[in-house]
Amino acid sequence: MNGVHPINTDSRYIIWLLDFLARKGVDIESLSRIHQLTDLERLDISISGATHRALLSDALQLTGESGLGLKLGYQRSLATYDQLAYLIMSCATLREATEKGLKYQNYPGRFSGNAIITTFSEIDGQGCYQVSVKEDLEELRLLAVEDLLSNIMTTARWVLGQPLPVTQLRCDYPEPPHVEDYRAIFNCPMQFDTPVIQLFFDAAILDQPLPNASPQSARLYASVCEEKSIARQGGNVAWRLWQLIVKDPANPPDMTDAAQALCCSTRTLHRKLQSEGWQYQQLIDQIREIHASRVLSDPTLSVTQVALQLGYSDHSGFLKAFKKWTGLTPTDFRTKLWGPQQPIGLGRS
């Protein structure tokens, strides 16, 4: 989403973050005073998005660690995810856990589901987590992305009872000075300066039974996450619309149908979207951009097939839209992924 209304962060995470920084030698008492972090022992307390960002900015400066985000994500405590952690661990398979985790990715607060959107697809026998980032993160962008990527590895280990079998990592930024930390965490071939952020793994593991599967527990925790996800968004209309549109980006509901689904009038929906910094078509375009980048990464699909998946009957219409979204043509996008020697059999038209 566009980050106009930063999501509050649960106090559980802030407590853990302060303990983490204390182990790095940071004076957390002074830091807490500066950011007025009081009553953290009350679990119903939430921390504003602005305070969270300021705290992370200070953490970067005080630790002097360029790879702080990787360490935050890889070492994060399971307790910081509250009921969402129990939900994904209770799922029958990694496929189900991924579906539930991404549906409620806004649940923990912080950046997920707001400034950062994670999506999933299967591409040529591999699972692929794709990370899309809005530019309002500024100096915290790298930290937030690294936090999310390394936490995928940690979460998968919790869920699977073994490491995620990663096969490739693509990052849309230059190789960082702490690249050795990447090798230790992901242990796979890596590309930097690509047009998209993607983490690939062997899809064979998606449907293997999980060690802690419990269907009844999963249903219980899913209902709790549904309720709290909506509450933590403060009724965020853009997020709720996202859930409707992403089901079929080629055929999104019109404003009238969307308003009916959200139990409000078209006028009210338009007004609420505007207050959150959105136009309805802008939201549809963002979802289509994310979907297009993901599907274009599949070498078995032609550009025409991708255009049809997104509801463009006119090939040139998709080319124009994709260039507007990314600054690249679909062919240029693929060239940046694979180089001039693109995979054999890749359809270009």
Taking CA atoms, 26 is separated from 23, 143, 231, in Å, by: 7, 18, 33
CA gap 215, 201 in Å, rounded: 25
Higher pLDDT, 228 or 148: 148
- Distance between CA atoms of residues 321 and 108, nearest Å: 33
- Read off the pLDDT of each residue in 193-198 and give the average, rounded to a whole number: 96
Percent of the chain with pLDDT over 70: 90
Residue 45 clears pLDDT 70, i.e. is over it? no
Q: What is the CA radius of gyration of the chain?
A: 20
Burial 119-128 (b: 16+ CB within 10 A, else e): bbeebeebbb
Top pLDDT among 318 and 42 is at 318
pTM: 0.86
Residues 6 or more apart in contact with residue 63 via CB below 8 angstroms:
21, 24, 25, 26
State yes or no: pLDDT of 252 exceeds 70: yes
Average pLDDT over residues 204-229: 91
Three-state DSSP at 173 gives coil
Give the pLDDT confidence of 135-191 residue by residue, as tens digits.
778 889 999 999 999 999 999 999 999 999 999 999 999 999 999 999 999 999 999
Q: Quick check: 349 pLDDT over 80? A: no
Please report the pLDDT score of residue 129 as a whole number. 97
Question: Tokens representing 332?
Answer: 């240029």
Kindly state the average pLDDT of the residues 241-264.
Answer: 91
C-alpha to C-alpha distance for 170 and 193, rounded to whole angstroms: 8
What value does the mean pLDDT take over residues 245-250? 90
Position 2 pLDDT exceeds 60: no
- What is the chain's mean pLDDT, rounded? 88
The model's confidence at residue 240, banded by pLDDT at 50, 70 and 90, is confident
pLDDT at 115: 82
- b (16+ CB within 10 A) / e for 129-145: bbbbbbeebeebbbbbb
Angstrom distance (rounded) from CA 149 to CA 98: 14
Higher pLDDT, 346 or 213: 213
Do residues 292 and 325 make contact, with C-beta atoms less than 8 angstroms apart? yes
Is the per-residue pLDDT at 227 higher than 60? yes
Which pair of structure tokens corresponds to residue 148?
A: 């999310």
**What is the per-residue pLDDT for 61?**
94
> Mean pLDDT lowest for which of 71-85, 226-240, 277-291?
226-240
Distance, CA of 100 to chain centre? 13
pLDDT, tens digit (0-9, with 9 covering 90-100), for 99-146? 999 988 877 656 776 788 999 999 989 999 999 998 778 889 999 999
Rounded to 10 degrees, the C-alpha dihedral 229/235/236/237 comes to 120
* Residue of higher predicted confidence among 112 and 94: 94
Query: Is the model's pLDDT at 253 over the cut of 90?
Result: yes
Bridge partner list, 170: 191, 198
Give the tokens for residue 141.
Answer: 């962008």
Burial (CB count within 10 angstroms: exposed 0-12, middle 13-18, buried 19+), residue 217: middle
Cβ-contact 146, 67 below 8 angstroms: yes
